Structure 1
Amino acid sequence: MLEISKESILSALTVEANKIKHLLTNQRNHQCIAQCKAFEEVVDTQMFGFSKQVEFAQSIGLINRQEGLDMIIELEKELNKVYNMVYQEEKDAGS
């Protein structure tokens, strides 16, 4: 039987969070964030999927509720930083 450790779950969830950050960071370079509503839908979908993965890991007892919340909050903070940078750059360019 396959044995799953808490560390392997946290590592897998971190990899998924990093994929979302990478997606957003790459698109930032193309200014799609500020101009493309479809991109926001992709990010929302990715965040929803990530939250479901975290929820599943919690439901089977591999991580606790606080660990799951911390991961989601950290990812949301990172995404907000990127959004704020893009919007500040747009604002500065328009001045």
Structure 2
Amino acid sequence: MSSDVLLSLSQKALHLLQEDADKIEKLIEVQMENLTTRKCPLYEEVLDTQIYGLSREIDFAIRAELITETAGRQILMKLERNVAQLYEAMSKNKE
């Protein structure tokens, strides 16, 4: 494959992974907006499952050399920070 094709595949993979990350971000935003609701274990499980699924997608893209490990880590780190903020806000709201 030519380097142009590989670059195009890499950009497409990164774009698709970012779209999936954005969907998870939307879940986090919705929950942050609804902090008046009690902490919901089912919601947390869905969120954790979504993040786990994305981490598997990212792992595959890294192994297939479609994205760099650094790019994959950056996507996950941003989500993990936002989830941590959500859980912190939820625990403060609970008090």
- The reply to whether TM is greater than 0.5 is yes
TM range (shorter): 0.7 to 0.9
1:48 aligns with 2:52: yes
RMSD over equivalenced CA pairs, Å: 2.1
Q: After the TM superposition, list the runs of 4 or more consecutive aligned residues in structure 1 that deviate by more than 2 angstroms.
A: 27-35, 85-91
Give the count of matched residue pairs: 89
Higher relative contact order (CA 8 A, sep 6+): 2
Which consecutive residues of structure 1, in runs of 5 or more, have no partner in the other structure?
none
1:27 aligns with 2:28: no
Which consecutive residues of structure 2, in runs of 5 or more, have no partner in the other structure?
none
1:88 to 76, 88, 92: 92
Tell me how far apart the structure 2 counterparts of residues 72 and 33 of structure 1 sit (CA, whole Å): 26
Tell me how far apart the structure 2 counterparts of residues 85 and 49 of structure 1 sit (CA, whole Å): 24
Measured against aligned partners, the alpha-carbon deviations of 1:18-38 in whole angstroms (never above 9, x if no partner) come to 111111221333348742111
Q: TM-score, normalised by structure 2?
A: 0.77
Q: TM-score, normalised by structure 1?
A: 0.77
Identity %: 27
1:15 aligns with 2:25: no
Contact 2:21–2:54 under 8 Å retained in 1: yes
